[in-house]
Amino acid sequence: MQNNIFSGLFVGQNFITIKQVDSTNNFLKDLASNSKPLIEGTVIMAENQYAGRGQQQNGWHAEPGKNLTFSILLKPTFLPVTDQFDLVRAVSLGVFDALAPLLGDKLKIKWPNDIYYADQKLGGMLIENMIQGGQIKNAIVGIGLNINQETFPNHLPNAISLKQILHQDYDLNGLLSEICRHIEAYYLNLKAGKISFVRNTYLKRLYWLNEKKSFRSKEGMFDGIINNVKDNGMLVVKNNKNEELEFSLKEITFVQ
């Protein structure tokens, strides 16, 4: 279904809504692998996504018609594979900037790509890159955000929605349009070579940045301070011995 809710140059100009799907990422991957090429910026939105995934195969629960569950096709062939975390930064910042006017200073990006309000999870994303010949041919950007849902199952004790925070319903299409517009803007910054701007802005908006907090690694619990994210996306935490430790996604847990 075509729609003109999007004001950007290319993200959302091809917009497809579907009633129900296991995962918008899977649906978009299947479309992208067909012989007919899909245009960059294609957006797939599902009213009901019943098998959404987060990082590390975490499940994602969303009531039908209450939340945003969508995927965007990008073609960041300009981005070296070694710099693919910059796409995570750009997408996270796009979502952040769309929500910041509503949520203010309590909104943060929890490394690597969750959206937090205070200490609760508002949403997250899963970016799946298809690499060919040393280039990122396609990037499937899946995003799930809790918008109008009022209750969450007990196994998601940390979840929160926009409605729970602000006590009103929000127009999903309007929010989707804003998010896509901001993602496009950061993506175009990357394409224009403004890598430092994207990296520095991401760091400034990071959850727990420069705060002494508790973490768990394979060595056990420790207190530390997040002070950087490496170009390749590794999280840098300074421990009590003043050592700068680097962690990839599955190597560290934030202890609330």
Convert the pLDDT of each residue in 67-86 to its tens digit: 999 999 999 999 999 999 99
Count CB atoms within 10 A of the CB of residue 66. 18
For the cut 60, the answer to whether the pLDDT of residue 224 exceeds it is yes
Average pLDDT of the segment spanning 43-48:
92
Q: What is the pTM of this model?
A: 0.93
d(CA 229, CA 244): 11
Residue pair 116/110 in contact (Cβ under 8 Å)? The answer is: yes
Compute the mean pLDDT over every residue in the chain, rounded to the nearest whole number. 92
Q: How far is CA 223 from CA 10, 113, 210, 212, 248, in A?
A: 44, 22, 12, 7, 17
What pLDDT does residue 56 have?
Answer: 41
d(CA 218, CA 130): 30
CATH pick for 15-204 out of 3.40.228.10, 1.20.1740.10, 3.30.930.10, 3.60.150.10: 3.30.930.10
Q: Is the dihedral of CA 57, 62, 65, 68 positive or negative?
A: negative
Class of CATH domain 212-255: mainly beta
DSSP string of 18-43? EEEES-HHHHHHHHHHSSSPPPTT-E
Domain spans of the chain, in order of start: 15-204, 212-255
Residue 5: which pLDDT band, with cuts at 50, 70 and 90?
Answer: confident
What pLDDT does residue 45 have?
Answer: 95
What pLDDT does residue 1 have?
Answer: 41
Average pLDDT of the segment spanning 90-103:
98
